[in-house]
Structure 1
C-alpha cells in the first residue's frame, strides 16, 4: 500500500461514512459494522469495480478520471463545492517543492476603503487571519483586530463563542469554508500548525475537520448576542479582493429601518466617540509610526 499523505482517500472515506444505506435505497439486513456505506456499495452505485475503489481509498491509485470522480460524487451526495474539491484532490499535478509561505498583505486602497466604511468590516486572509479591521468591527467583537485568527477565536475563546447563539452552525460553516480556502495545499507549515493546534485544543474542531465538509466562503445572515446591545441580526458579505490569493473583504450590515440598524448605529456612535485616527488598521498605524 502507498504510504504518505493520502488526502483523496481520507476524503472519500470520511464522506462515505456520512451517507446512509437508506438514503441510497439499500436494504439494511442485520448489524452493520461500519457507519455509512460500505466500499463495495459505493463502487456498485458508481459503476466501478470494488477493487478499483479500494485502491482509491488506500492511495494506490491517485489519478482517477474526472468521470469516475463525478460518479462517486453523485453516490456520496456531494454538492457543487464538495464535488469541485474532490475533483481537485484527484487532479494529476506534479509535486511542488515546499515553498516558504508568502506574507499576506492588504492593498493600500483597501486599507483606505476599510477606514471609510460606516459598517463593521475587516479583511480576512486565506487561513482566516484578520489582516485589517475598522473600529466598528472591533466594537462588534474585540477579537476582530489585526493579528487575530477567526478559527482560533471562535473555537477557543469563550467570550467569542458566547457572541454566537448559533455557535454550532457558525463553526460548521467556518471549518467548511477554511477547507475550501486551503484546498490541496495541505503541506503548508501555516496550515499544519493551525490545524494541529485546533485539533488538540478543541474536540468540536476535531470532529468537524474529520467530516471533510467543504463550502464556499460566502455571505450569510448572522445572529449575535452582543454584550452591549443584545441580540443583533446582521447580513454578512464576503467579497474577494482582486489581485490577491484568497484574501476577502468581510462586511456586516443590517436590514434598513430595523431595530438592528438602530443598535448598530448606537454601537457606531459609541465607537466614534472613543476612536482616534490611529484605530483604523495595523498597516495604517505602522505607516503613521514611520512618519
Structure 2
C-alpha cells in the first residue's frame, strides 16, 4: 500500500502514533471487549499484551508499534487493532495516516438523499444554480434555478448520461465538444475510486451503446480530476452566460458532491441570469427546491407529470424490454408551464423512436410515457402563449419531452400548428409531425435540394421514406429513386412519388445522385457514399439495420467533393423549435392540398404493443397511429 503524505514529519508521526494508541487503549475496559476483569489495575484500560492477543499480533511487535518504532505495518493489522480499540471511522483513518498508510475508503451507500442541512444550503444558494449528485453522477437534488438555466428536466437523472444523450444539453453548452473529453475522464477517475462497484461499468456500457462520442472517449482511458470548471452556455431565452462551477465533496456521504454555479464577473451573466429567472418568478421569490431528480431504481414522476389530482389513461414503459412491457396505466394529468400548451390527444403517431425508448437505447426515467407526435385540441395554455387558444384543433410534436401515448400531453407552443385553415382528418394530422416534418427539413434545410437534382431515398416504403420521396418531388427533384429491403415492398413504395424503386442489393447499378438520404446504415451507407456525384450530399438520419457504425474518412470527402451531414429531429426541435414548426405547417398544408399522401392505419391506444411489434418486424408500410379519444 502506498505511503500517505502527511504534514507531520516522520518523527512527529511516530510521536503522535504513540500518544494516540496509548490514549485509545486507556479508554477501553476489559468488559468492553468481553474479557474477564482480573480486578484492580494500576492504569486504566487494556494492557498492551491484551491488545496484542485480541488483535492476533505479537506482544513485542505491538509494543514496538505503540512505542513509535520504525516498523512495517499492513492495513490488515491496523484494522485488527482498530477493532480491538473500538475506533470509529475517523479514528481508524487517523491511525492509518499516523502509520504512514493511505486509509481505505469508508463504507458508504452509493446514493443517499441529501441531508436537511444540505438542502437548506442548496435552497439558500438560489437564485444561483446548484445541484447534488451521488457517486454515480445521478442527480439527488436540483434547485429551480438550475432547471431554468441549464434546462434540467425530469428526464435528466444522470449528469453524464444527460450530457451525452440529451439534445438540450448538447445545444446549450457552448463548447460541448471540447468539454466532452474532460467529462468522460472525470467519470473514469471517479469509477477508479470504487473498483468493486459494477454500476460504473454498467452506466458506461449502456451509454457507449447509444453514444459513439462517449464510446470513443471512454476507450481512451483518460482520467482527470476537477474541483472547478468554467461553463459557457447559449441559452435560447437569455443568450450567452458564463459560470464558474465548483464541486464541493460531502464528507458524510463519500462520492457525493454539491455543485454550485456562480456568474462570472464582467461577462454580463448576472444580469442575463436574473432577467431569465425573473421571467420564471424565481428572483425575489422564496427560495425552494422543486423536488429531487429521480434516480435509477427509484420511482420518478412520469414523463414530467406534475402532482395534479386529476388522472388520465396512458400507455407507459414501466421497464425496458420487448413490446410486452407496455402497460395501460392511470397517471396524473400534466399542466402546461410557461411557453407550453396542454393538448387533449385524439390520435398519437407510432414511431421507431418510441421503440428505442422502450428498449432502453435512449436514456429515459421509468416509468415513462412515450409518444413524439399527436393531434388533438388545446386543453390549456401556459403563461406567455398567445398564438393558440383553448379548443383549437392542432397537430403537434411532443418529441422533446415525449408523453403522446396519453389522453393529455404537454409540449412547447412553438411545436404546435393550428388546423383551423386546413381541411384534414385528425388521424392524418397525427401522422405528419414526425415523418413529414423530417422530410421537408432533411431535404430543404440540410440537403438543400435544388430543382433538377437526382435524389436517392433508402427505406422508401417506411413511414419517413414514404414522405421523403414526395417531398423531393415537391422541391423540384428531377429523378427520385427509392430502395427497399425486399421485393414485396416495391409496389407499395411506388405509390409515394418515386420514379423508380429498387431493392437495396441493386444500388450499385442505380447511377449517380446529388442527394442520398440514409436511415438504414451498415453496407447501405458505404454504398450511398459511392453513388454520390461530385458536390453530392449524403444525409444520415438513422440506423434501422442496427449495424456497426460506418467510418467515413474525411480525406475521401476532401478529394471527391462530397458532403456528409446528420439530422436528428429531437435535437433540431430542441434547438430550432420555430423552424421546426414552419416545416410542420408546410407538411400540413401539403397534405391538406393533396400534394402529400399519407397512408394511415389506426389502432386503439390499448394496442400500442401490437403497433411496436409491427414496426420492429420491418413489415409495416405507411403510418401507424393510435386512436386515443374521439375527435
Mark yes or no: TM-score above 0.5.
yes
Residue in 2 aligned with 1:123?
Answer: 132
Alpha-carbon offset, residue 101 of structure 1? 6.0
Residue in 2 aligned with 1:75?
Answer: none
Contact 1:126/1:246, CA 8 A, preserved across alignment: yes
Deviations 1:71-115 (A, max 9, x none): xxxxxxxxxxxxxxxxxxxxxxx9xxxx99643231220011111
Aligned counterparts of 1:271 and 1:223: Cα–Cα separation in 2 = 21
Residue in 1 aligned with 2:199?
Answer: 190
1:57-72 correspondence to structure 2 within 5 Å: none
Aligned mate of 2:250, from 234, 241, 244: 241
Instruction: Return 5+ residue gaps in structure 2 as ranges.
Output: 1-103, 294-299, 301-306, 308-631
- Taking structure 2 as the reference length, what is the TM-score of the superposition? 0.28
1:7-26 correspondence to structure 2 within 5 Å: none
Aligned counterparts of 1:261 and 1:276: Cα–Cα separation in 2 = 17
Deviations 1:188-242 (A, max 9, x none): 2322321111111111101111111111132111110111111111111111122
Aligned counterparts of 1:157 and 1:147: Cα–Cα separation in 2 = 8
In structure 2, the CA distance between the partners of 1:258 and 1:274, relative to structure 1 (3 Å rule), is: closer
1:1-291 correspondence to structure 2 within 5 Å: 102-117=110-125, 118-143=127-152, 148-256=157-265, 258-272=267-281, 280-282=289-291
Deviations 1:36-64 (A, max 9, x none): xxxxxxxxxxxxxxxxxxxxxxxxxxxxx
Aligned counterparts of 2:158 and 2:216: Cα–Cα separation in 1 = 20
Deviations 1:230-286 (A, max 9, x none): 1111111111122111111111111345411101111222233599979605369x9
Deviations 1:128-155 (A, max 9, x none): 1111011000011232669611111111
Aligned counterparts of 1:100 and 1:233: Cα–Cα separation in 2 = 34
Contact 1:234/1:252, CA 8 A, preserved across alignment: yes
Contact 1:133/1:144, CA 8 A, preserved across alignment: no
Contact 1:131/1:146, CA 8 A, preserved across alignment: no
Structure with higher helix content: 1
In structure 2, the CA distance between the partners of 1:144 and 1:119, relative to structure 1 (3 Å rule), is: farther
Contact 1:238/1:248, CA 8 A, preserved across alignment: yes
Query: Aligned to 1:148, what secondary structure does the other structure show?
Result: coil
Contact 2:241/2:267, CA 8 A, preserved across alignment: no
Aligned counterparts of 1:201 and 1:173: Cα–Cα separation in 2 = 19
**Quick check: which has more Rg, 1 or 2?**
2
Q: What RMSD in Å do the two structures reach over aligned CA positions?
A: 3.4
Query: Aligned to 2:252, what secondary structure does the other structure show?
Result: coil
In structure 2, the CA distance between the partners of 1:197 and 1:179, relative to structure 1 (3 Å rule), is: same
Aligned counterparts of 2:207 and 2:131: Cα–Cα separation in 1 = 23
Residue in 1 aligned with 2:424?
Answer: none
Contact 2:277/2:283, CA 8 A, preserved across alignment: no
Aligned pair count reads 192
Alpha-carbon offset, residue 122 of structure 1? 0.5
Aligned counterparts of 2:154 and 2:121: Cα–Cα separation in 1 = 16
In structure 2, the CA distance between the partners of 1:224 and 1:102, relative to structure 1 (3 Å rule), is: closer
Contact 1:186/1:192, CA 8 A, preserved across alignment: no
Structure with higher strand content: 2
**Which is further off, 99-108 or 166-175?**
99-108
Q: Which has the higher contact order (CA 8 A, sep 6+)?
A: 1
In structure 2, the CA distance between the partners of 1:143 and 1:261, relative to structure 1 (3 Å rule), is: same
Aligned counterparts of 2:186 and 2:290: Cα–Cα separation in 1 = 24
Aligned counterparts of 1:220 and 1:228: Cα–Cα separation in 2 = 23
